[in-house]
Amino acid sequence: MMLIQSTGLGNMINALESLNVICKIPLPVLTSWRGVYGEYIEAQVPLGVHLPALLKGAELEYTIIEDAEKIYLLENVIKDAFENLRPHIALISPKVWEASGCCTWEVASLPEKPKVMERTCGFNLKMTNIKPLMLRNEAICAVASQLDDEITVTNLGIPCKELYAYKDRDLNFYMFGSMGLVSSIGLGIALRAERIVVVFDGDGSLLMNPNALLEAAKEATKNLIIIGLDNGSYGSTGSQETCAMRYIDLEIFAKACGIQNTAKVNSREGLIEVFRRFRTMQELSFIHVILKPGNTKAPNIPLSPEDVTKRFKRALEAEKL
C-alpha cells in the first residue's frame, strides 16, 4: 500500500502504467487530495482540479472520498486492487481529517524537537583517469557468469534484453518501463529476502532517481549489490550524453549517500573480482562500472511483462521470500 500526496501521484502516473498496470501488480494508493478543498497554496490547484480527469484518461481506477462518512470506501479500494491485480487510487479530501487534533510527537511520547543525529563522512579519493574497455553487454555478461541463486533486477530497455540473451532465469526481474525505479525495487525486495539481490542500474536511471541510493544507504540492508553501469549515455533512446559523462562521479555520489563499500572498475576481470568480494562480504555495496557507449543487437524478450512478473513471484514464493 502507498500513502502519498496528490502532487506525488501526478508525478508517478507513468510508473503506475508501465509497472503496475502492465505487470498486473496490485497497489492501493491512499492519496491526500490537494488543490480542491480548503487549499491555501495556489500551485496545488491546477493538478488537484484536473486529477480525476487525468486518472480517468489514463484508465486508472480511482475512488473519491469526500468526507469522514465515506471512509468505509477504503475497504473497497484495497479489495479491488488485490482482486483485480491493478492500482486503485483513493482521492481523500482533507475534509476527512480536518477535525483531528492528533500530534505525532505527542502520540509517540517524543520530545517536541527530535535530536539531530551525529554523522561522520570519510573520503579517500585518488585522481585517476580510467579508460572504458567494455560495452554494457560485456559487463552484464561478466556478472551474469557468476550468478548462482541471487535475485536480479535489471534496468529497462536494452540491458534487460542483454541479460535475457545471456542468462535468463526465473529469478531475473526485467524492467519493461518505470525508468529510475530499478534500484528502489531491488531495495524493496532485499528488505524482504534473505538471499543476495543484484541490481543492474544505469547512469541515466540513477541520475533520474538519486533518492534510490539515499534510501539504500539509510536502510543499509546487507544483501544488496547495486551495479552502476555507466556508459555516460541514455543507451536505449539514441545514446544522448548524460551528466555522468563529464560532470558527476557515481561512486563519489554513492559514498556521499552513505554507502561505504564501493568500487570503480573498467575491465571484465576487475568487475568479476569486485563482485565476488562484495558478495562474500554480504554488505550493502555499489560497483561503478566505467563503460564505452554503445549497444549490442539483442533480441526482444519473448515474454510479456505479466508473464515475467508471474514467474518471478513464483520463484520467490518457492524460496519462501
Q: What would the pLDDT profile of 96-122 be if each residue is shown by its tens digit?
A: 988 777 665 555 565 556 566 566 666
Percent of the chain scoring above 70 in pLDDT: 92
CATH 3.40.50.970 range(s) for the chain read 136-318
Vertex 162: Cα angle to 158 and 167 (nearest 5)? 150
Task: Name residue 3's beta-bridge partners.
Answer: 30
- pLDDT, one tens digit per residue, over 286-314 is 999 999 998 888 899 999 999 999 999 99
Residue 206 CA to residue 228 CA, distance in Å, equals 8
Residue 163 CA to residue 241 CA, distance in Å, equals 23
Residues 6+ apart with CB under 8 A from 150: 171, 195, 196, 197, 198, 279
> Which parts of the chain have pLDDT scores under 70?
102-123, 319-321
For 245, the grid coordinates are 559523462
If you count DSSP H runs as helices and E runs as strands, how many of each does the chain have, helices first?
Answer: 14, 12
> 136-318: what CATH class?
alpha beta
Residue 57 CA to residue 48 CA, distance in Å, equals 15
Q: What pLDDT sits at residue 127? A: 72
Cell 508525478, located at residue: 11
Q: What pLDDT sits at residue 101? A: 72
Using CA atoms, how far residue 2 sits from 120, 171, 213, in Å, is 32, 25, 20
For 65, the grid coordinates are 472520498
Task: Name residue 63's beta-bridge partners.
Answer: 90
